[in-house]
Structure formats: structure tokens, C-alpha cells
Structure 1
């Protein structure tokens, strides 16, 4: 089973680099000049995202199997190879975040398979890894200075508080965790406490970050923190509804795309309380 690995050190926090990896447009744009086309990941990557790819006339489909603060992984589910796996693991270091990219595959048997291993392993696969690493590094550097939207993963008695959007039209009816933009001069925690008071009428105690930073636009990202209620009972002051949900409801909820990325982290949070 051939495999190829490449490492890159990015001068950005691990959660921000993880956020850069979630930008589905990066992979497609970084490999376009190599004659490789990828579609289906134009938004934010999450577990279950399908990516259709082609190299010349050869086509295949990948499905994202991991997308969290540890990195991203995808596996081939339809294509010419018996097996293909792409993984990116993140390691926090004193000088930044080490990005470890790897691709491994199983080729068809016979002379054609051995030739494919040489051509792919020494040529195209290495170019893809190098192009993607450069794109991730540039995007992470951009996100370090991005404006921030904060969200609160408020947990009580093993349940998570979520709220349903009423506007704009394209988001109406979808669910998210409470929160809002960080104003100039505010810390993330101060902004989150203010937003919860305004949106829900409650006081909260802000804890640790949950999951990776999630890119929303070129210079805007979402950052979610665990929180507990200090006082007050949540009410839908600016949204259609609020409700408490358990772990079994996380996957089925009609989340906003950015919040869906955080489901693995939210599940881990609920299981630890």
C-alpha cells in the first residue's frame, strides 16, 4: 500500500489552522492548476460532506470522515482505486502548528497498478499535498486577524441549549448555538456574556473553547465556548424558538452550516457533563 507524507509548520494556533482546513474552497482552488477538479466542498467541510473529483477522464467521490480540531480526513467511496485515504493531522508546537498531510492508496494489481503507484506517488500526489499545504498556511494566517463571532454551548443537566433563526430568509428555521459578534475592545468572553444577556435574558459563565475556529467569510470566523447558566431562564427574545436537546438529537437537527461542523465537539461536551 503506497503512502506519501508531507509536513508544514504554520505560525498560527491549532484551532485556527483547523478552521482553515474546514474551508472547502481551499482544496478545490489549490489543485485547479494541476489539472485536478474537485466539487461539492464549496462551503464548510463537515463529517459526511461529499467531494467529487476528477483527474482528466478519471472520476471518483470522497466522503469526509473527520473534521475537527485534530484535522480532516476523507476516504474514497467511488472511484478507480480499491482504496484512497487523505488525512491531515494537526500537532500543536511551541512555534506554531505542525500540519501533517498524508495520502495512501491501493492500486489495481499488475503492471498498470505498479506504474500508477510510481506516477501518482512521485508526481501528482506530492504536488497536491504541497499546493494544499501552501493554501492552508495562507488561509490560517488570514484567519489569525479575522473578526470573530462567538457562540455559547450552554449545557444544563446533560442537555444543550439551541435557538432557531427567524431571519434572514435563507437561515430561517435553522438552528444554532446562541451568540453574536465581538465588538471592538471586547474579549471573546465579554462579548459572549453580553450576547447571551441580550438574546436570551440570562447570565452565563464562559468556559473553554469547543471545537475548531470555523471560517464564515474571508475575514470572519465563528468561535464557540462551553458555558453554564449563572442566572435567568432562557427565552427567545430575538429568535423563533429556543429548546434543550440531548446527544441523540444532534445529528438530525437542521443546523446552520457553520454550527453543524461543531457537532462532534458538542457531542463530546455533552458526554463529559
Structure 2
């Protein structure tokens, strides 16, 4: 618990682009956000650094190995018993094969047209598109 009485849950997210500028997205298999597309990521476990947690989450959700780079930004999102404090990092794929796993029921490389379609049809987790626009981190047109 913090001084303001709100429980903040430390989480990480990955902004991973391929050589064509497409953004890696996963469709959540569980709540929160079940059935919606999001960045790969999740909770930081006790004793993990952000980079360790993010590499683990990306591997579990997508089958890809990544090198974690610079912090792009942080956001807070409502959680059932507090607030998720999510630190989003740029990542580069270093190995593996794309496949959905663990908390994801699908994974894909989204170009701008695909991302915009998901956004217009309300298939993205809340605020993802606005946040990525604010950070100038939208996928390219492929």
C-alpha cells in the first residue's frame, strides 16, 4: 500500500517491432482484458527486474526471445484490487518463433491498417491506441 492508500501492482509491457515496423500484439486469454488485443507483458514477480520480467512474459506469451531496451513510458490502469503501474519498454527480437501461449490466445504482427481496424472495432485494450499515439510508437504502414 502506498501513502495514498492505493495498491500499485508493478507490471511491464513490450513494444516490439519487426523489420517492417509492425507492432507485436497479443489477444488476452484471461481477465483483465480478456479477448482484447494488447502489448505482451504482465506482472513483475518478487525478485525480478523489469527486464527479467519482460523477457519472461514475452517468451511465455509469444514464444519470442527479446532484448529489453529503453523505457518508453509508464501508465496506470485500474486493477481489481488497486492499480496496475505498467512500465513499457522498447524490445528487439533475438530469437524464437511467434506463437500464442500462456495468457495469450493469439499473437500477431500488426501494421498500421490492422492496428487501426482493431482500434475502430474496440478490440484493443482501453487507452492503448491513444497512449501509443502520444508516445509516437504506432506501427508503420508495413
Task: Kindly report the root-mean-square deviation, in angstroms, between the aligned alpha carbons of the 2 structures.
Answer: 2.7
Give the counterpart of 2:59 among 185, 197, 215: 197
Map 1:45-84 → 2, pairs under 5 A: none
2:22 aligned partner: 159
Q: Which has the higher helix share?
A: 1
Deviates more, 1:146-155 or 1:212-221: 212-221
Is the 1:206–1:228 Cα contact (8 Å) retained in structure 2?
A: yes
Normalised by the length of structure 1, the TM-score is 0.42
Does residue 248 (structure 1) correspond to residue 110 (structure 2)? The answer is no
Select the structure with the greater relative contact order (CA < 8 A; seq sep ≥ 6). Answer: 2
Is the 1:153–1:224 Cα contact (8 Å) retained in structure 2?
A: yes
Select the structure of larger CA radius of gyration.
Answer: 1
Report the secondary structure of 2:128's partner residue.
helix
Give the Cα–Cα distance (whole angstroms) in 1 for the partners of residues 22 and 15 of structure 2: 10
Unmatched tracts of structure 2, length 5 or more: none
Displacement of 1:251 in angstroms is: 3.3
Relative distance call for 1:156 and 1:265 in structure 2 (3 A) is: farther
Q: Deviations over 1:157-209 (max 9, x none)?
A: 211110112223x7332101111100112111111011112222221011122
Map 1:93-112 → 2, pairs under 5 A: none
Unmatched tracts of structure 1, length 5 or more: 1-138
Give the Cα–Cα distance (whole angstroms) in 2 for the partners of residues 270 and 260 of structure 1: 10
1:223 aligned partner: 87
How many equivalent pairs are there?
A: 130
Relative distance call for 1:250 and 1:266 in structure 2 (3 A) is: farther
**Runs (4+) off by over 6 Å:** none
Does residue 234 (structure 1) correspond to residue 103 (structure 2)? The answer is no
Relative distance call for 1:184 and 1:255 in structure 2 (3 A) is: same
Displacement of 1:245 in angstroms is: 0.8
